Structure 1
């Protein structure tokens, strides 16, 4: 059995355990008893009452409206109520967001999950890491790795842990996921932007971009060269190390207009 197969089997087991962990830790959770929302824009009183009833499966549209809403009085409690079902839907690729999965990260950031009691915060962290690693190593992962990465970055406000996971998990599939991500990211990065929208006001977009570019110029460039990634892709990373006129007059400038 080759390394890649062992990796994705291990990642699936870890993700399954992480989902079970969420179910165990957040079993019985409910929204605050006084929670409410606008019946015109969010939903009915009957639907709010479901959030105050533990462990009842929500219809997909109600689940979507619940995690998307920005005006809960206790957003953290609402998140804890839906997390087991929400995480399962995420992994299965059943969650759609208008501007990308970073919106899911924004919802988690608003809930300040890292400040929850240790058992709860650890369960969320383990789920995020397990899902991220599964997206890198499982050929049947339902969600593209670059989308999971953006969600994790927005949820946590940092790139370091997710980049460390990427460095640890090597192999042809993880390298291919890296090439796919670079292909998705370089248009925005070469325009000095971040390739996903930073919603949470406490996150520093410039700092995140600088960290990502530094990693791409270092670890990713070496790895893509070793994995024989297309030369055009490697040149786009190289261009990130140039600024101003030197970048857009380079012979390998891809002709982007901003």
Structure 2
């Protein structure tokens, strides 16, 4: 049996801490939603009952819904189960990572009592460490990063962690992520969808991501087993106008 990595042990501990910190939480008694589009009154009642695990479909419909009247209470109710679904890859397989990020953002968890907000922060940090350093990470780094940015409203803390993760696997994860981002970035677009950010805020993130890549990625891409064109595409991000699109390595973006 493969021994768990230190990052995996940290993640397991953070999930246990979440379960303890949010034990007994329930949705707000006055919260409701459309039975035609969301679910039944009986299902809503389950969310107002503490410590009852909900089935995966009810969990999915709950975090996909962005119009709860009391989003903080709803996030507290589903958080331990949602965190496990995130790290197992279940949420990603259903295509709901951005919806889950929105649920965190709407919940305003950074303003919660310290015991709760610290438990969430540690979970997000631990999950990111697994994503970057554990060979059995269930969700690709570019997918996790987009969710973390939505959930936290910040990009720099996650890039800082990637800067200090200097293993061959972390380099490979960066190459894979840039391979997903390159065409959007060459169009000067943020390479993921957001729910809660303005266009100006998205532009700030794109600029921050591009600057970080230009500083930290060139050497790491060369060290990774990757498409030999990727370093050239990265170099193009440092150019503007005709210098970029007239370069012989400019890709066909059609």
* Structure-2-length-normalised TM-score: 0.94
| Residue number among 141, 164, 173 corresponding to 2:160 in the alignment | 164
- Partner residue of 1:205? 202
- Partner residue of 1:94? 90
- Partner residue of 1:249? 246
Distance 1:120 1:29 in 2: 11
SS of the residue corresponding to residue 204 of structure 1 reads helix
Distance 2:29 2:14 in 1: 28
Kept in 2: contact 1:221–1:234 (CA 8 A): yes
- Partner residue of 2:122? 126
Distance 1:188 1:86 in 2: 29
- Partner residue of 2:191? 195
Kept in 2: contact 1:97–1:103 (CA 8 A): no
RMSD: 1.8
- Partner residue of 1:178? 174
**Cα deviation, residue 201, structure 1:** 3.4
* Structure-1-length-normalised TM-score: 0.93
Gaps of 5+ in 2: none
**Cα deviation, residue 223, structure 1:** 2.3
Distance 1:163 1:223 in 2: 14
- Partner residue of 1:50? 46
Kept in 1: contact 2:128–2:158 (CA 8 A): yes
Kept in 2: contact 1:100–1:147 (CA 8 A): no
- Partner residue of 2:33? 37
Kept in 2: contact 1:15–1:127 (CA 8 A): yes
The change in CA–CA distance for 1:219 and 1:235 in structure 2 (over 3 A counts) is: same
- Partner residue of 2:221? 224
Pair 1:83-2:94 in alignment: no
Query: Which sits farther off after the overlay, 196-205 or 15-24?
Result: 196-205
Q: How many residues in Structure 1 have an aligned counterpart in Structure 2?
A: 252
- Partner residue of 1:240? 237
Deviation per CA, 1:191-216: give whole Å up to 9, x if none: 11011012103681000000000000
- Partner residue of 2:10? 14
Pair 1:23-2:8 in alignment: no
